[in-house]
Amino acid sequence: MQDIRDLIIEGHPYEKIMQQLQIPRRTFYRYLNAVFEDDRRLLAENIDDTEFMNQMAICKDRLLEQRRNLLEMAHDSSIDPSDRISAHHLIAEIAAAVLRLYEGGPAILSQRHAFPKTALTAPESTGLRLVLNNANDNPTAMKEASRLQYEEAMKRVDEEEEVRGDEGEK
């Protein structure tokens, strides 16, 4: 798993990593999931809200700087037309990534500070008692539920982007 992490940091594509380490695709993705899960756990434990927002802002600024550079390239008539078209595609991908930062960042922060469900917050509640032994009382279950909610939100954003792209082509 450390070799996978090191090769990803060096910028190698997944296919090349699988070939270099001589591991099957399924094993690679299982290890990759474990690496990412470990990183998520470390981030959740060691990064406070202010640091998270700072890193999100830095990421956004870097993406927007790359977008500006690509815009210059896309408008430069001395560059090959196919490269200019590729630059336009990358510009759209960067814009989508920035949008995901704006939409996903606050959602992640709100999930980090989610309150456990009680009888007051549960649907059709009638009393003041706490609901005990709830899955949300389990930190592991809460993290898993948050991850699933985040993945569903990202799928919705991707689907919306596809719909917008299809409408733009018409």
CA-wise closest residue to 59 among 10, 103, 97: 97
How far apart CA 140 and CA 132 sit, in angstroms, is 16
Distance of alpha carbon 133 from alpha carbon 63, whole angstroms: 44
pLDDT at residue 146, as a whole number: 63
Distance between CA atoms of residues 138 and 114, nearest Å? 12
pLDDT of residue 59: 87
Specify the pTM: 0.41
Provide Rg for the chain, Cα atoms.
21
Q: How far is CA 43 from CA 37, 51, 132, in A?
A: 10, 10, 29
For 85-121, what is each residue's pLDDT tens digit?
Answer: 999 899 999 988 888 888 887 777 776 665 545 444 4
Determine the pLDDT at residue 166. 58
How many Å apart are CA 65 and CA 97, to the nearest integer? 13
pLDDT score of 129: 45
Q: Residue 72: what pLDDT?
A: 92
* Rounded distance between C-alpha atoms, residue 147 and residue 153, angstroms: 10
| Exposure letters 128-141 (e unless 16+ CB within 10 A, then b) | eeeeeeeeeeeeee
pLDDT of residue 168: 55
Per-residue confidence in pLDDT tens, the chain, 170 aa: 889 989 988 889 999 999 999 999 999 999 999 998 888 888 777 777 777 788 888 888 999 999 999 999 999 999 999 999 999 899 999 988 888 888 887 777 776 665 545 444 455 544 444 444 444 455 565 556 666 766 777 777 777 767 666 555 54
The angle subtended at Cα 35 by Cα 29 and Cα 36, nearest 5°, is 90
pLDDT at 132: 45
